[in-house]
Amino acid sequence: MDRGLAGGLGPTLPPAMSAMLAQSTERHQRITGHAAYPEPDFPRTHTRTVQRSVVIDRVAGLALAR
């Protein structure tokens, strides 16, 4: 069941590829954790742009998987 990016259940990277990407990425650019957004889609403006400030506030309390 792949719910896509917003659902957080998208495909995972094989460990070898993940390790390769970690080595080729600067330390400050690395993804250190992730969390599934609890809604089916992100909140959007009338022009369909994601309301980032609302998303940031919403995920601030979620625990990150590492």
> Does residue 58 contact residue 25 with C-beta atoms inside 8 Å?
no
**pLDDT tier at 66, thresholds 50, 70, 90:** low
- Judge whether residue 1 has pLDDT over 70: no
> Does residue 33 contact residue 65 with C-beta atoms inside 8 Å?
yes
Nearest to residue 1, comparing CAs of 44, 36, 50? 36
Q: What is the mean pLDDT of the chain?
A: 76
* Of 7 and 57, more confident: 57
* Of 55 and 2, more confident: 55
Neighbours of 10 (CB within 10 A): 12
**What integer is the mean pLDDT of 20-44?**
82
* Of 39 and 23, more confident: 39
**What integer is the mean pLDDT of 16-39?**
78
